[in-house]
A and B are shown apart, each in its own frame.
Chain A
Amino acid sequence: MSPDEQQLRRLEKQRCAALTSGDVKSLATLMADDLVHIHGNGRIDRLAEYLDGVATKYVFHRIERGELDIRLYSNAAVVVGPLDQTVEIRGDDKRKEIKAIVSQTWVRKIDGWKQNTCHMHFLSVT
């Protein structure tokens, strides 16, 4: 496994940890300024909307990633793999168990890899 691949796996773990701990500040350090985040319901968020959603709307109780397929192209990387999470919308006490397939792109900036897109597709929601 290349150093870049190892680093991207670490960063994705950090991203999931920041989501489950609601640590928006840490999450922001992993994101590119022109982030495009596509939720499993098709909603598109830019960086400010996404961070605000994490801070005020969503509670992530658990996020697990399966085997990640990581491929490097110039100074960008594509990361594709399954995601399994328990999430709740604040004010709605129902926890949802979500299985999804996710593709992400990361770009190598001066201060490290940043996530530029995250596109989630729900496979099941219960």
Chain B
Amino acid sequence: MNHDLGGWPEELKPYEDSRRNAMYAANVKTLGELLHDDLIYLHSNGVRDGKASHLNTIGSGAARYVVLTTSGVESIGLGTDVWLITGRLLGEVAAKGQSFGIDAVFTCFWWRELRWRMVTWQSTPWPSNR
């Protein structure tokens, strides 16, 4: 594990670590195993992706994530099979020949059905007046 996953549930840490590493490496096979088929991925620019389009974005290199870190993470357990995670996301992504910084508030929803998979992701730019 190579990410500081403070605040994340212990049982989710290996999955979230793998998800980020798969995004850096554009490893869509591993990433696909960590994402639910129903995935709804709402980007901080308002674009909505499903699983196929999200994997295509990563696999094609249209977006290449270089670093993703989280802080101020709060985890809310809903029963034994659902985790809601919220916090701040800082990172960097390369797209269309340019590098963009990421500073956002995120929420995500993980569900365990035999294994843990991420079902939703949403991020919104971190407020500039904080």
Chain A residues at the B interface, C-beta cutoff of 8 Å: 34, 36, 38, 40-44, 69, 71, 73-76, 78, 80, 101, 103, 105, 107, 116-117, 119-123
Whether B70 sits at the interface, judged by CB under 8 Å, is no
Given A73-B111, A80-B40, do A42 and B119 touch, yes or no (CB 8 Å)?
no
| Shortest Cβ-Cβ A-B pairs, 7 listed | A42-B127, A73-B111, A76-B82, A74-B81, A76-B78, A119-B107, A107-B78
Q: B residues 95-130 with Cβ under 8 Å of A?
A: 104-105, 107, 109, 111, 113, 119-120, 122, 124-127, 130
Across the interface, do B107 and A38 meet the contact criterion of CB distance under 8 Å? yes
Q: B residues 39-68 with Cβ under 8 Å of A?
A: 40, 42, 44, 46, 48
Across the interface, do A105 and B125 meet the contact criterion of CB distance under 8 Å? no
Interface of A is mostly: strand
Across the interface, do B127 and A103 meet the contact criterion of CB distance under 8 Å? no
> How far is it, in angstroms, between the C-alpha of A36 and the C-alpha of B76 when the chains are bound?
10
Name the B residues within 8 Å of A69 (CB-CB): 40
> How far is it, in angstroms, between the C-alpha of A36 and the C-alpha of B81 when the chains are bound?
19
Interface of B is mostly: strand
> How far is it, in angstroms, between the C-alpha of A122 and the C-alpha of B45 when the chains are bound?
9
Across the interface, do B107 and A103 meet the contact criterion of CB distance under 8 Å? yes
Whether B21 sits at the interface, judged by CB under 8 Å, is no
> How far is it, in angstroms, between the C-alpha of A80 and the C-alpha of B109 when the chains are bound?
12
Q: How large is the interface on B (under 10, 10 to 19, 20 to 34, 35 or more residues)?
A: 20 to 34
Across the interface, do B78 and A40 meet the contact criterion of CB distance under 8 Å? no
Across the interface, do B74 and A36 meet the contact criterion of CB distance under 8 Å? yes
Across the interface, do A76 and B86 meet the contact criterion of CB distance under 8 Å? no
Which residue in B74, B81, B109, B127 is a CB contact (below 8 Å) of A105? B109
Q: B residues 65-87 with Cβ under 8 Å of A?
A: 74, 76, 78-79, 81-82, 84, 86
> How far is it, in angstroms, between the C-alpha of A41 and the C-alpha of B48 when the chains are bound?
18
Across the interface, do B84 and A117 meet the contact criterion of CB distance under 8 Å? yes
Across the interface, do B105 and A38 meet the contact criterion of CB distance under 8 Å? yes
Across the interface, do A123 and B46 meet the contact criterion of CB distance under 8 Å? yes
Name the B residues within 8 Å of A107 (CB-CB): 78-79, 82
